[in-house]
Chains A and B, each alone.
Chain A
């Protein structure tokens, strides 16, 4: 009998600590709910890491989504500048201020303007902050960057004592605060503020590697809560800040038995189930010009025609170019773009690092919620294979957990079975379609085969295919003693075979006719013999009758003779 008193499953020790969601996609996941409620969090990073934007996003999300007004105390930027800077993220700060949801206080400290004489404290700052908090009923506070005080005031002993007091005062106020600080050398912050803010420390990083910048975030500590400990890439663009938690490397995703058509009927037939598995990963690899994108587009076209959303990540062609090129093979993508079922996301691979690309793709997937995606091509990413591998693993994982069918194309190098990006991902892929060019008899022909397709009994044949005006068509395979024949050679061979077949047919016909003739002759003979037999039978019958007649008359003759002699008494 089941135990009804069994406690509900808890999501770990962190449930005890109240948390304030930041509304920043990903960050709330890796901190298991957000920042510690009613406590200050230190956000440190070098210049240009996005600390201010981070803080502002925290506040604006608080106002818009969690009904928690906020206070932004800026030590570096004026209100107008702040408003203009975050306008690019779609935040209308002036409106929030007018609606008394947000208070911005610009604290300007200019050492040249301030003389010091005797003892002082920072009660003025407390008063201002307290007033701002009370005026909007703030639950969230951002201090950006409080270290500016160190350059504005000479007496750092007083300052440190006051900062300590400020942070405990913030705790007493019960506001969730973000305190930003510049990254220092050898320590987290230039002035060692981490000493005072110890509940949660988040580090932002902006690293250049191979001339490509990747923003990364790390939760260094989070007192009283479990949290993701790795470095996570994050991106800042017109959609705001997105952090990509990439730890979901567990292989626990549910799988589907459902198959989705590939958009190429003949290919569906080759795959035993009538298509790719839903939520599987498909790799289409091949040389330049083998039609990788066309296969991908055919899949997208089929998905959109079924009314499913598709997301096309183009890394080599612009969306218009893809649409135009696909029109030439009879795949009309423009109508899906118009209906909103298809979305293109085009970017140069070198625009950012892998992780940024991944973060961006992840964000787009989250927003658009497609049923299938295409990444065309993954070989556009250049770099160490371990990184490509990691990036694609994460992308494939994201797709699998969300039940998205993902088609990746990869450009193979000439005369090489697998290139770096293919090798690194081959084990990740559930279905791998290899496209090849065969160069023979003065022409090039395209063939494809299924290198693998997990979980379905697929065709092992090598098939020739054509990109025609009305899509992709696979032709019947020719696999003869001379190997696979394609194109004109296949046609010639087929003609030869038709000729041989015809000859064989004639021979058979001849044999059949001969046979019929023989049978006729035989039957005639049988008829003759039967006639002779019948004649002989008639003769014998006649003879028997005559004989019986004779014997009967003989008897009567004898009787008559005996009567005449008087012998009858």
Chain B
């Protein structure tokens, strides 16, 4: 599955959506962690959309959000979800296939 996954292609655009609910410490931590991980691994080819469900609760059902924060990898397919404040960056990288090109060759 990982072999034919296009995610580790250098040119792949990442479209990520992070669902949070208000400015809670967990939410803020998740936003900060995600930005950091993306900068380190996907510099220049990622897009992050932060959705605050306190403001737009109607969006929660569409992406089947239960836990907060939830990170959804909309692109590239397949759709992947990750819940938590993303403090464990290793897990995020593996779970969302964010491996930098150089590392994946080792």
Chain A to chain B contacts (Cβ below 8 Å), 27 pairs: A105-B61, A109-B66, A113-B80, A113-B81, A115-B92, A115-B96, A117-B83, A117-B84, A117-B85, A117-B86, A117-B88, A118-B84, A118-B86, A120-B69, A120-B85, A121-B68, A123-B53, A123-B67, A124-B19, A124-B66, A124-B67, A124-B70, A127-B68, A128-B60, A128-B61, A131-B58, A152-B66
Query: Contact flags (1/0) for A106-127 with B, using CB distance below 8 Å?
Result: 0111000111111111111111
Answer yes or no: B54 CB below 8 A from chain A CBs. yes
Given the interface pairs A127-B54, A131-B58, the reply to whether A115 lies near B91 with Cβ below 8 Å is: yes
Chain A residues in 8 Å Cβ range of B35: none
Cα-based distance from A125 to B67 in the complex (angstroms):
7
Answer yes or no: A153 CB below 8 A from chain B CBs. yes
Answer yes or no: A34 CB below 8 A from chain B CBs. no
Q: How many of chain B's residues touch chain A, expressed as a range? A: 35 or more
Answer yes or no: A349 CB below 8 A from chain B CBs. no
**Is the beta-carbon distance between B81 and A115 smaller than 8 angstroms?**
yes
Answer yes or no: B5 CB below 8 A from chain A CBs. no
Lowest 4 A-B CB distances belong to which pairs?
A: A115-B95, A118-B87, A118-B84, A131-B57
Per the 8 Å Cβ criterion, residues 50-68 of B in contact with A are 53-54, 57-58, 60-61, 64-68
Q: From residue B58, how far is it (CB to closest CB) to chain A in Å? A: 6
Given the interface pairs A120-B26, A122-B68, A125-B66, the reply to whether A131 lies near B84 with Cβ below 8 Å is: no
Answer yes or no: B82 CB below 8 A from chain A CBs. yes
- Scoring A116, A118, A121, A126 by chain B CB atoms within 10 A of each residue's CB, the highest score goes to A118
Cα-based distance from A117 to B58 in the complex (angstroms):
25
Chain A residues in 8 Å Cβ range of B75: none
Q: From residue A468, how far is it (CB to closest CB) to chain B in Å? A: 73
Minimum CB distance partner of B81 in chain A: A114
Given the interface pairs A115-B95, A127-B21, the reply to whether A121 lies near B67 with Cβ below 8 Å is: yes
Chain A residues in 8 Å Cβ range of B19: 124
Kindly identify which residue among B21, B79, B82 contacts A124, using a CB–CB cutoff of 8 Å. B21
Given the interface pairs A118-B85, A131-B58, the reply to whether A124 lies near B91 with Cβ below 8 Å is: no
Chain A residues in 8 Å Cβ range of B33: 118
Please name 10 further chain A to chain B contacts, defined as beta carbons within 8 Å, in addition to the given A113-B80, A122-B68, sorted by A numbering: A115-B80, A116-B82, A117-B83, A117-B84, A118-B84, A120-B26, A120-B84, A121-B67, A122-B66, A124-B21
- Scoring A116, A119, A127, A153 by chain B CB atoms within 10 A of each residue's CB, the highest score goes to A127
Q: From residue B74, how far is it (CB to closest CB) to chain A in Å? A: 13
Q: From residue A160, how far is it (CB to closest CB) to chain B in Å? A: 14
Cα-based distance from A124 to B66 in the complex (angstroms):
4
Using a CB–CB cutoff of 8 Å, the interface residues on chain B facing chain A are 19, 21, 24, 26, 29-30, 33, 53-54, 57-58, 60-61, 64-70, 79-89, 91-92, 95-96
**Is the beta-carbon distance between B95 and A117 smaller than 8 angstroms?**
yes
**Is the beta-carbon distance between B21 and A123 smaller than 8 angstroms?**
yes
**Is the beta-carbon distance between B66 and A117 smaller than 8 angstroms?**
no
Given the interface pairs A113-B80, A115-B80, A117-B82, the reply to whether A124 lies near B60 with Cβ below 8 Å is: yes
Minimum CB distance partner of B27 in chain A: A123
Cα-based distance from A289 to B93 in the complex (angstroms):
84
Q: From residue A214, how far is it (CB to closest CB) to chain B in Å? A: 37
Chain B residues in 8 Å Cβ range of A149: 66
Cα-based distance from A127 to B95 in the complex (angstroms):
26
Q: How many A-B residue pairs have CB under 8 A?
A: 101
Minimum CB distance partner of A162 in chain B: B67
Chain A residues in 8 Å Cβ range of B89: 117
Chain B residues in 8 Å Cβ range of A116: 82-84, 91
Kindly identify which residue among A105, A108, A123, A130 contacts B68, using a CB–CB cutoff of 8 Å. A123
Minimum CB distance partner of B85 in chain A: A118
Chain B residues in 8 Å Cβ range of A109: 64, 66
Chain A residues in 8 Å Cβ range of B30: 118
Chain A residues in 8 Å Cβ range of B53: 123-124, 127
Chain B residues in 8 Å Cβ range of A121: 26, 67-68
Minimum CB distance partner of B60 in chain A: A128
Chain B residues in 8 Å Cβ range of A153: 66-67, 83
Per the 8 Å Cβ criterion, residues 84-110 of A in contact with B are 105, 107-109
**Is the beta-carbon distance between B82 and A115 smaller than 8 angstroms?**
yes
Minimum CB distance partner of B93 in chain A: A117
Chain A residues in 8 Å Cβ range of B70: 120, 124
**Is the beta-carbon distance between A115 and B83 smaller than 8 angstroms?**
yes
**Is the beta-carbon distance between A124 and B84 smaller than 8 angstroms?**
no
Cα-based distance from A149 to B67 in the complex (angstroms):
10
Cα-based distance from A125 to B82 in the complex (angstroms):
15
Cα-based distance from A118 to B85 in the complex (angstroms):
5
- Scoring A105, A123, A125, A126 by chain B CB atoms within 10 A of each residue's CB, the highest score goes to A123
Cα-based distance from A113 to B64 in the complex (angstroms):
11
Chain A residues in 8 Å Cβ range of B68: 120-124, 127
Q: From residue A156, how far is it (CB to closest CB) to chain B in Å? A: 13
Given the interface pairs A115-B81, A117-B82, A124-B21, the reply to whether A107 lies near B66 with Cβ below 8 Å is: yes
Cα-based distance from A400 to B53 in the complex (angstroms):
59
Q: From residue B68, how far is it (CB to closest CB) to chain A in Å? A: 4
Q: From residue B45, how far is it (CB to closest CB) to chain A in Å? A: 21
Kindly identify which residue among B26, B65, B91 contacts A128, using a CB–CB cutoff of 8 Å. B65
Cα-based distance from A74 to B59 in the complex (angstroms):
17
Cα-based distance from A201 to B57 in the complex (angstroms):
31
Q: From residue A127, how far is it (CB to closest CB) to chain B in Å? A: 4
Cα-based distance from A122 to B70 in the complex (angstroms):
10
Cα-based distance from A153 to B81 in the complex (angstroms):
12
Q: From residue A252, how far is it (CB to closest CB) to chain B in Å? A: 53
Cα-based distance from A117 to B34 in the complex (angstroms):
11
Chain B residues in 8 Å Cβ range of A107: 64, 66
